[in-house]
Amino acid sequence: MTSFGEIAARLEGQAIEVPSWAYGNSGTRFKVFGSAGTPRTVQEKIADAATVHRFTGLAPSVALHIPWDDVDDFGKLRTYAEDLGVRLGTINSNTFQDDDYKLGSLTHSDPRIRRKAIEHNLACVDVMDETGSRDLKIWLADGTNYPGQDDLRGRQDRLQESLRTIYDRLGADQRLVLEYKFFEPAFYHTDVPDWGTSYVQCAALGDKAVVCLDTGHHAPGTNIEFIVMQLLRLGKLGSFDFNSRFYADDDLMVGAADPFQLFRILVEVVRGGGYDGDDPVAFMLDQCHNIEKKIPGQIRSVLNVQEMTARALLVDTEALAVAQAEGDVLAANRVVMDAFYTDVRPDLAAWRESRGLPGDPEAAYAASGYQEQIEEERVGGTQAGWN
Ligand code: LRH
Ligand code: MN
């Protein structure tokens, strides 16, 4: 059995990007609940994200969503973030909230609409030049609700043409990250519904185009770690949007609904060289704290990823290889389950303290008074949300 001491060094430098929109209000079609202390501005979102990093040492960058986080001067915003100890990360484009995109955006049959969607993504690359961000993340709501509504093949060809124009604008160190989702808001077909479609579209573009795997975007029963293995094998797994779900795209805290699945995913990330290999996969959270407090929810979430990463690193890969080679089914499974059942929390707490961080970041945050302070200060104005 591998010991915590043997893997602790590999936990150094783990970085989990947090999404600006997790600090704002979000909800469902039934209700978006407001909450005291919710940010009104992107600066307040960044301040809250920086607070998560301060208590965990795990979240050194914040993903932005355009236009939700639009500002006049992104260079100034970058300095603001860096003064708080965090970087501006992935830039998420948004072609799913404009009336013009009702029947599609980058796939739309009308070249004028496609051009508009392309221009928005090109503007997002301009933002990346100012923020120093590497990744442009594209998730498309594009799809149809009824058979025959549009030509599925024509939409794929138009999608490739649109992505090509965006791809060609990327700088040398920039990437296009294409996120897939099997349904919603479209209910018959989605134009980028699965890893295969995202892979096919990315492979046709080139090396700077990679796949984003959102853990909430698969049909129930999907073996997500198999997809992780395959995309790593193909060198095309660019990033994760981590969250968890019981039913659909619930966007719950990662590791909350199915910690064992998160563990299995991270075992394949480590095995495939996606954790601390030459080209590590970008870890990002993509969550909505509809009813629970947002900053404690984010703190718990990055800790859940760290905890399951530690357990995944504990897998005794030599013993596993032997058992697999011998076809010893029970022994092989035992090796993996022993790592999963190893409670690393006390070791992690001591390890954090050894690095000047609170052993229990959630308790430290609760005792810090930051929550009470923002609830007192952030009165008036419009609380941030998906708009
Ligand atoms: C789509 C998605 C995508 C984001 C949005 C906030 O469901 O996962 O990553 O743009 O959530
Ligand atoms: Mn996502």
pLDDT in tens, the chain (387 residues): 789 999 999 999 999 999 999 999 999 999 999 999 999 999 999 999 999 999 999 999 999 999 999 999 999 999 999 999 999 999 999 999 999 999 999 999 999 999 999 999 999 999 999 999 999 999 999 999 999 999 999 999 999 999 999 999 999 999 999 999 999 999 999 999 999 999 999 999 999 999 999 999 999 999 999 999 999 999 999 999 999 999 999 999 999 999 999 999 999 999 999 999 888 999 999 999 999 999 999 999 999 999 999 999 999 999 999 999 999 999 999 999 999 999 999 999 999 999 999 999 999 999 999 999 999 999 999 999 987
Cβ of 191 below 6 Å from ligand 1: no
Q: 49 burial class (0-12, 13-18, 19+ CB within 10 angstroms)?
A: buried
Tell how far the Cα of 139 is from the centroid of ligand 1, in angstroms: 6
Rounded to two decimals, the pTM is 0.98
Instruction: Return the residue whose CA atom lies nearest to atom 11 of ligand 1.
Output: 286
d(CA 197, CA 294): 33
d(CA 82, CA 61): 9
Tell how far the Cα of 137 is from the centroid of ligand 2, in angstroms: 9
Tell how far the Cα of 181 is from the centroid of ligand 2, in angstroms: 8
Q: Would you give the end-to-end CA distance of the chain in angstroms?
A: 50
Tell how far the Cα of 346 is from the centroid of ligand 1, in angstroms: 34
pLDDT reported for residue 386: 86
pLDDT reported for residue 15: 98
Tell how far the Cα of 148 is from the centroid of ligand 1, in angstroms: 26
Kind and range of the H or E element at 62?
strand 61-65
Tell how far the Cα of 90 is from the centroid of ligand 1, in angstroms: 12
pLDDT reported for residue 29: 92
Cβ of 286 below 6 Å from ligand 1: yes
pLDDT reported for residue 387: 75
The atom of ligand 1 lying closest to the CA of 288 is 6
The phi, psi pair for 328, rounded to 5°, reads: -85, 85
d(CA 18, CA 65): 12
Instruction: Return the residue whose CA atom lies nearest to atom 1 of ligand 1.
Output: 139
Cβ of 135 below 6 Å from ligand 1: no
Contact 209, 202 (CB under 8 A): yes
Pocket test for ligand 1, best of 64, 92, 252 (most atoms within 8 A of CB): 92
Instruction: Return the residue whose CA atom lies nearest to atom 6 of ligand 1.
Output: 286
Maximum CA extent, the chain: 66
Pocket test for ligand 1, best of 93, 139, 181, 249 (most atoms within 8 A of CB): 139
